[in-house]
Chain A
Amino acid sequence: MRYRILMILWLLSDLLLFVGTYALAYFLRVGWIFSSDFPFDKFINITVIVAPVWLLVLATTRTFALTRSQATPRNAAYITYSALVGVALFTLTYYFQYAQFFSRMLLMMAFVFSAAVVWGWHCGYSAIMRRILRKNPAVFPTLIVGVTRESGRLIERLNRSNHPLKPVAILDGRGVKDGEVHGVPVRGKLNKLEDVLEQEHITHLIQCSDLEQSLNLLSACRKRGCTYLLLPSVLGIVERDERVDTLEGQPVTIVSPKEHWWTWFFR
């Protein structure tokens, strides 16, 4: 419920920001008046019509996904791309509606403002949202499978960045002596899986080792409606150069040889 409310507020605030940044661009370009040559009501009507479509485009970039970090260049690129689509949609809609062209500078300003303000807001809002989602009881209690250095680093990173996925328990197939890893208790071996899933109301499971048990962990997740995540290092992919793609519709994980950066577009 907490998550749903926060998400609705986020979407609504994005809509308002989109309309607000366009209005700001209008006043900065036209002046703080309601021009009769370029009426504000026509401008804002089109902005309001375009805003939900822009939001839909933004959502398709998965910027609202739980696993997405907002303050990353990749996310900024997605938001910028959506802002560009927003401006294009606005221009087309305005032209189709009123058969008029207007200031190109205004469009540039609307693009820059909507991209920058929305990204800034996303960074701020997600930080607040993360804090609220992690408050006990956490909305997304996460189970880590495997005590490894990689899982230790992951837990530290999730905790440091206040990620909504809050590690609450660790299980290890081999059994380890560690009582806890970065404050997260090691609850034992995999025979306690059902107990931990039940008691901690686990919503996400991150497999960090025990490759041979991936089918069974996945099966447990499917049965309980948990989300299953797998670290590529479990498959031996440790250099962070993998990507998930499709091969004739079949999902595949791809690790390509390192070549020039521009080959990324064609591999």
Chain B
Amino acid sequence: MQTFILAGGFATRLWPLTEKRAKPLLPLAGKPILSHLVLNTPADSPITVSTNAALAEGFTQWKKEQQRSDIAIVVEDTAHDDQKLGALGAVAQWVAQRNIDEDILLLTGDNYCGFNMQEFLRAARPGTAMLAAHDLGNREAAKAFGTVILGKDGRTIQAFEEKPPEPRTSLVSTGCSLLPASTIPLLVDHARHHPDNVGSIFEEFLRQGKPVDCFTFEEPWFDIGSFEAYLEATKALVGERVLIEGTASLERTQCHGAVVIGKNTHVKDCDLHNVVLFENCTIEDCVLQDCIIDNHCTLKGVDLTGKMLRAGTSLTQN
């Protein structure tokens, strides 16, 4: 089995954090989102990460820091979001170029899945496509996602509904799926006409009468596509504690909620409430609430609420 991780998006909604960094490389509770995925992926499944030319350097650097040696980075020849191949197009191109004829574990690089991937794979039936669906436990919340309608057996998928106004279920599809080798020709053919939407391949399977299984899980799942979702994921994973790197310092500072302090960041005389500070920042005499501060920022004497700050920002109140 091959693992293919989609990481080619430009993540414009998370600008400026994604100005020079791909979304899967954003730190989540102390390590990149992508590292969470890779750590959960079976050791015997080689991993391919698909990205774009503009953000490739970050992945190359990330790869060097990984303990696994079976990670490959494939780079789409695109420098902007208006030129990209599309998620399914990227899978199809990789399949064609590498002559892939094995099962594919397809993961979305900006999704955090809290379940054990081995359990997911054990639940798969040979030759049957399967996708992981998270039970939000709340139909109202499901309005913002693609929902999965199960058949009477509670296992096979009957239909998909994209962001339904009145959801029939609280089960939402996630960025984790298994595509058996037998479905690859259909995937390649379908990607020619629908290169953007990964989910559409499963709809195509249903249209052609091929069963699609659903792996339902209740462990945490986050689709980190916006500032709010990113902060929410951090709060859920970090909890009411301070996650601080060894080379960082925290002096005379009150912390509430989830606080993450990256390498070489120094905080003094502050009040932090649900804050993520990336690396090499200097924060003094500040009150920060629900903020994400990128690398190399210097903040002195400022109060901020609900802000993402781009790398290198300097705000000093005289």
A, B in one complex:
yes
Q: B40 contacts which chain A residues (CB < 8 A)? A: none
Check A191/B18 contact, CB under 8 A, given A175-B12, A215-B307.
Answer: yes
A-B pairs under 8 A by CB, number: 48
By the criterion CB–CB under 8 Å, are B315 and A215 in contact? yes
Compute how far the CA of A188 lies from the CA of B18 in the bound complex, rounded to whole angstroms: 15
Q: B315 contacts which chain A residues (CB < 8 A)? A: 215, 219
Nearest B residue (CB) for A222:
B314
Check A190/B80 contact, CB under 8 A, given A215-B315, A219-B312, A219-B313.
Answer: no
By the criterion CB–CB under 8 Å, are A188 and B15 in contact? no
Within the complex, which residue of A175, A188, A191, A223 is in contact with B312, where a contact is CB–CB below 8 Å?
Answer: A223
Asked if B119 is at the interface (CB within 8 A of a chain A CB), the reply is: no
Asked if B230 is at the interface (CB within 8 A of a chain A CB), the reply is: no
Compute how far the CA of A212 lies from the CA of B304 in the bound complex, rounded to whole angstroms: 11
B303-317 interface bits toward A, Cβ cutoff 8 Å, 1 = contact, 0 = none:
010111110111100
By the criterion CB–CB under 8 Å, are A215 and B313 in contact? yes
Q: B12 contacts which chain A residues (CB < 8 A)? A: 175, 189-191
By the criterion CB–CB under 8 Å, are A215 and B309 in contact? yes
By the criterion CB–CB under 8 Å, are B19 and A191 in contact? yes
A178 nearest CB across to chain B (Å) = 14
Secondary structure type dominating chain B contacts: loop
A194 nearest CB across to chain B (Å) = 7
By the criterion CB–CB under 8 Å, are A191 and B314 in contact? no
Asked if B10 is at the interface (CB within 8 A of a chain A CB), the reply is: yes
Among residues 173 to 197 in chain A, which have CB atoms less than 8 Å away from a CB atom of chain B? 173, 175, 188-194
Compute how far the CA of A215 lies from the CA of B17 in the bound complex, rounded to whole angstroms: 13
Nearest A residue (CB) for B14:
A191
Among residues 287 to 318 in chain B, which have CB atoms less than 8 Å away from a CB atom of chain A? 304, 306-310, 312-315
Compute how far the CA of A222 lies from the CA of B310 in the bound complex, rounded to whole angstroms: 12
Check A192/B80 contact, CB under 8 A, given A215-B315, A223-B312.
Answer: yes
Within the complex, which residue of B11, B20, B82 is in contact with A188, where a contact is CB–CB below 8 Å?
Answer: B82
Compute how far the CA of A223 lies from the CA of B12 in the bound complex, rounded to whole angstroms: 21
Within the complex, which residue of A175, A194, A216 is in contact with B308, where a contact is CB–CB below 8 Å?
Answer: A216
Compute how far the CA of A189 lies from the CA of B80 in the bound complex, rounded to whole angstroms: 11
Interface size class of B (residues with CB under 8 A): 20 to 34
Compute how far the CA of A173 lies from the CA of B19 in the bound complex, rounded to whole angstroms: 13
Q: A234 contacts which chain B residues (CB < 8 A)? A: none
Q: B313 contacts which chain A residues (CB < 8 A)? A: 215-216, 219
Check A190/B314 contact, CB under 8 A, given A212-B307, A215-B309, A219-B309.
Answer: no
Check A219/B314 contact, CB under 8 A, given A175-B12, A193-B19, A212-B307.
Answer: yes
By the criterion CB–CB under 8 Å, are A220 and B81 in contact? no
Please tell me the number of chain A residues within 8 Å of chain B, measured between CB atoms. Answer: 17
Which residue of B10, B18, B304, B313 has the most chain A CB atoms within 10 A of its CB atom? B313
Asked if B16 is at the interface (CB within 8 A of a chain A CB), the reply is: yes
Compute how far the CA of A188 lies from the CA of B315 in the bound complex, rounded to whole angstroms: 27
Among residues 1 to 23 in chain B, which have CB atoms less than 8 Å away from a CB atom of chain A? 10-12, 15-16, 18-20
Within the complex, which residue of A188, A220, A223 is in contact with B80, where a contact is CB–CB below 8 Å?
Answer: A188
B17 nearest CB across to chain A (Å) = 10
Compute how far the CA of A175 lies from the CA of B309 in the bound complex, rounded to whole angstroms: 20
Q: B80 contacts which chain A residues (CB < 8 A)? A: 188, 192
Compute how far the CA of A190 lies from the CA of B304 in the bound complex, rounded to whole angstroms: 21
A219-257 interface bits toward B, Cβ cutoff 8 Å, 1 = contact, 0 = none:
110110000000000000000000000000000000000
Compute how far the CA of A190 lies from the CA of B81 in the bound complex, rounded to whole angstroms: 12
By the criterion CB–CB under 8 Å, are B310 and A219 in contact? yes
Compute how far the CA of A51 lies from the CA of B233 in the bound complex, rounded to whole angstroms: 67
A56 nearest CB across to chain B (Å) = 28
Q: A212 contacts which chain B residues (CB < 8 A)? A: 306-307
By the criterion CB–CB under 8 Å, are A191 and B81 in contact? yes
B167 nearest CB across to chain A (Å) = 25
By the criterion CB–CB under 8 Å, are B16 and A216 in contact? yes
By the criterion CB–CB under 8 Å, are A190 and B15 in contact? yes
- A interface vs B, CB < 8 Å? 173, 175, 188-194, 212-213, 215-216, 219-220, 222-223
Ordered nearest first, which 8 A-B pairs have the shortest CB separation? A219-B313, A189-B12, A216-B310, A190-B15, A216-B16, A191-B12, A191-B15, A219-B310
Sample of 22 A–B contacts (CB below 8 Å): A173-B15, A188-B80, A188-B81, A189-B15, A189-B81, A190-B15, A191-B12, A191-B18, A191-B19, A193-B15, A193-B16, A193-B19, A194-B19, A212-B306, A212-B307, A215-B304, A215-B309, A215-B315, A216-B15, A216-B310, A219-B314, A222-B314
Instruction: Knowing that A212-B307, A216-B308 touch, tell me 8 more A-B residue pairs with CB under 8 angstroms.
Output: A188-B81, A189-B12, A190-B12, A193-B15, A216-B16, A216-B313, A219-B309, A219-B310
